[in-house]
Chain A
């Protein structure tokens, strides 16, 4: 049974490792989405200000 306990710990460790890898990719993607939205909003605002001055 001791071998099975080690195996369960190893399985759990491997699952946590791939969960962390997945979490990192998803979070990076979400952060980039937010940055892009913010930049698009800022660029749109700048264009609008330029047009109103003209």
Chain B
């Protein structure tokens, strides 16, 4: 088993353990504070998935900048891996948020909430970059175009991060290390921490596997080109 696959497996096992702990061990929340206390446990999936999405979008930003400014193949592979990982984790966070929102708020989406919509736009950006890149022949112009989207689209990450600190519309604000006594209790925090670490390991493993996959595809393309006589 390769290193990327091993890291992936460790992360996946951690995610499974997190969900088991969230279901069987994490304390229940008050029925007075939540419309749907059972649905609140989606939090242990939703928050780490969003965290992993930010890591993936960070990788997309670094890879895009590296390609545009250094013309590095390694950075292009990071761009590809970051966009695919960002798409997958972004969809995980959006989907789990919709399920939770439907149970807690009575609606899966709120078009007036800045956090929801800026994160939704980030996920749409990842969909555009992944589908657009796959539909175009690989070349410098194609790479430049999608790297520019990856570079400038990153502005949505800090906006999404600070959105609930500036505009608390429907999405709740921070619940960890708030400093004002409104943090979640330690058992809930422990499960959330295990989830965040597991998702981080998982997404790093995925990006390693994805970068290797892109390298293999490029090698295969070069080899086919050489076998065809270099024409």
**Which residues of A are interface residues toward B (Cβ below 8 A)?**
3-4, 6-8, 10-11, 14-15, 17-19, 21-22, 25-26, 28-29, 32-33, 35-36, 39-40, 43
Task: Say yes or no: A11-B223 contact (C-beta < 8 A), given A6-B38, A29-B209, A32-B216.
Answer: no
Instruction: Please determine whether A21 and B88 come into contact, CB atoms closer than 8 angstroms.
Output: yes
Q: From DSSP, what is the main secondary structure of chain A's interface residues?
A: helix
Q: From DSSP, what is the main secondary structure of chain B's interface residues?
A: helix
B37 at the interface (CB under 8 A from A): yes
**Which residues of B are interface residues toward A (Cβ below 8 A)?**
5, 8, 12, 15-16, 19, 22-23, 36-39, 41-42, 45, 88, 92, 96, 99, 103, 202, 206, 209-210, 212-213, 216-217, 219-220, 223-224, 226-227
Instruction: Please determine whether A36 and B223 come into contact, CB atoms closer than 8 angstroms.
Output: yes
How far apart sit A22 and B8, CA to CA, in the bound complex (Å)?
8
How far apart sit A22 and B210, CA to CA, in the bound complex (Å)?
10
Contacts of B92 in A (CB 8 A): 14, 17-18
Instruction: Please determine whether B38 and A25 come into contact, CB atoms closer than 8 angstroms.
Output: no
Highest count of chain B CB atoms <10 Å: which of A7, A8, A10, A14: A7
Task: Say yes or no: A11-B212 contact (C-beta < 8 A), given A22-B206, A36-B219, A43-B223.
Answer: no
Contacts of A25 in B (CB 8 A): 206, 209-210, 213
Contacts of A33 in B (CB 8 A): 216
